[in-house]
Amino acid sequence: MMPNILSTVAHRPYELPSGKWRMAQRWNDLLFAHWPIATDVMAHLLPTGLEVDSFDGYAWAGVVPFWMDQVRTRAVGERCATVPGTASFCELNLRTYVRSRVTGLRGVFFFSLDAASALAVLGARTLFHLPYFLASMKRKSTSDGSIEYSSERLLSRLSVRFEANYRSLGEVAPSAEGTLEHFLTERYCLFTPHGGRVLVGHIHHLPWPLQAAEAEIRINELPAAHGIALPDRAPVLHFARELHVYIWSLREDL
């Protein structure tokens, strides 16, 4: 059951959005793998209306494998319903961090979201205009607490694969404002272009319960598939066991 976290808002950079939330989800066993990218290079990949949000003079590209469950949608009025075909599935995101040129809001821009649920892909593309792709994905927990994770995008001209083994290295350490981990994770909206406009989708969750992580990333074809060349250096890694999330419908970025 999703906890009632909507009254815990002191950590948010701005107030909760008006209106009722549209969806609720739980995200599990997340790896955050991030690489610094030159800001001018990243700027050329963003839609009109968004600008790079940088840290230490760099834009940041993130690859985030996880799996979700407890997916619910607000159907009519106050009634909520589970979503058939989305009880539990893997998802893999390629993202960066942006500011709205209109409102100044800081949020996430997704280059791609691969998912193992055809219904979730169809629904997200239709309702949220996000670049979801159907993928064949596998996830397995090993005896030492590691996560074995693999993904291969289906119906794609390009080979878009990801394969990694990752695990947590310790206790939860709350991220402090002004740190890189806070910059990379404490985001409460996403942006997506549609019909010549930039739309914003607000979300709510508690502060990320981040842990240090280690990972062996054996295959990572996502960035290249979307025009991003990663630097020849190890990524910055974080892990989170779970996070409950509420999501609002898209609205124009005004």
Collapsed DSSP state (helix, strand, coil) of residue 183: helix
pLDDT band of residue 77 (cuts 50, 70, 90) is low
pLDDT at 122 over 80: yes
Q: What is the pLDDT of residues 207-230, one digit of tens each?
A: 999 999 999 999 999 999 999 999
Task: Identify the pLDDT of residue 223.
Answer: 98
Report the C-alpha gap between 96 and 59 in whole angstroms.
7
Report the C-alpha gap between 49 and 225 in whole angstroms.
23
Q: Which residue has the tokens 């590209």?
A: 61
- Mean pLDDT taken over the chain: 93
pLDDT band of residue 138 (cuts 50, 70, 90) is very high
Q: State which residues form the domain around 181.
A: 23-194+204-252
Does any domain span residue 232? yes
Does any domain span residue 17? no
Does any domain span residue 7? no
Task: Identify the pLDDT of residue 78.
Answer: 52
Average pLDDT (178-199) is 95
Average pLDDT (87-98) is 95
pLDDT at 126 over 70: yes
Does any domain span residue 1? no
Does any domain span residue 76? yes
Does any domain span residue 185? yes
Q: What angle do CA 98, 190, 133 make, to 5 degrees?
A: 110
Task: Identify the pLDDT of residue 87.
Answer: 72
Number of domains forming the structure of the chain = 1
Does any domain span residue 132? yes
Residues above pLDDT 70, as percent of the chain: 94
Does any domain span residue 52? yes
Q: Which helix (H) or strand (E) holds 124?
A: helix 118-127
CATH number of the domain at 144, please: 2.40.400
State the burial class of residue 219 (Cβ atoms within 10 Å of its Cβ: 0-12, 13-18, 19+).
Answer: middle
Report the C-alpha gap between 9 and 42 in whole angstroms.
32
Instruction: Write down the pTM of the prediction.
Output: 0.94
